[in-house]
Structure 1
Amino acid sequence: MLYEDKRRFMRMMVNAEAKISILEQQITLTGRCIDLSATGLSVAVEEPLEVETVVDVHINSTSASIPPLNAHTKIVRCTQEEEGQYILGLEIIQFN
């Protein structure tokens, strides 16, 4: 089934802090997860990151019954917003 924006999976709107670890550089950034689907997510960050960079993403859950999200991802898109933030499009490679 395809949704309005021609995606295979519905996106769930999220407003949660996301920790992004750039594996090659051993750097951790903090961003804000905007939305999430079965195969990817969007995260707003303060500085641009290179497309094709592999990063780990960690999002804590506010519910004791829902485990945190830990995923190995690849940056497939990085666009600058008017507010100066950058929106990363991340493809989930593997859930950890």
Structure 2
Amino acid sequence: MVNYDDKRNFYRMMLNSEVTVTIIDDEANSKITATCRDLSATGIAIEMEHPLEMNTAVHISVQSANSAVQPLDVKGKVVRVKEESSNCYLIGINISEID
């Protein structure tokens, strides 16, 4: 279990799942494949090759490995962008809506 030292209101579930990110703010509704690192009741951290602008509205779909479990679809805004290495950015999304 993850240590609860960061005083968050919700525990984070560590994942390593492929997700589809749709950028709502652009006219084309661009779709990007990314990796979900962790997920909580209020946020999601994704890893991708290119940064996103702060406050960008996104829709994220996390597919389930089990067909009996529905995919998770959330909407939110980018609240953190951190360059981890060359071509690797950690993007923090604040979840505003769960479908």
- Indicate yes or no: 2:76 matched with 1:73: yes
Q: How big is the shift at 1:83?
A: 4.6
Q: Is the 8 A contact 2:57 2:75 kept in 1?
A: yes
Paired residues for 1:1-96 under 5 Å = 3-25=4-26, 26-96=29-99
State the Cα RMSD in Å. Answer: 1.0
Provide the rounded CA distance (Å) in 2 between the counterparts of 1:95 and 1:87: 21
Q: How big is the shift at 1:58?
A: 0.4
Higher alpha-carbon deviation: 58-67 or 4-13:
58-67
Q: Is the 8 A contact 2:48 2:87 kept in 1?
A: no
Q: Which runs of 4+ in 1 moved over 6 A?
A: none
TM-score calculated relative to the size of structure 2? 0.90
- Identity in percent: 37
Unaligned runs of 5+ in 1: none
TM-score calculated relative to the size of structure 1? 0.92
- The number of aligned residues is 94
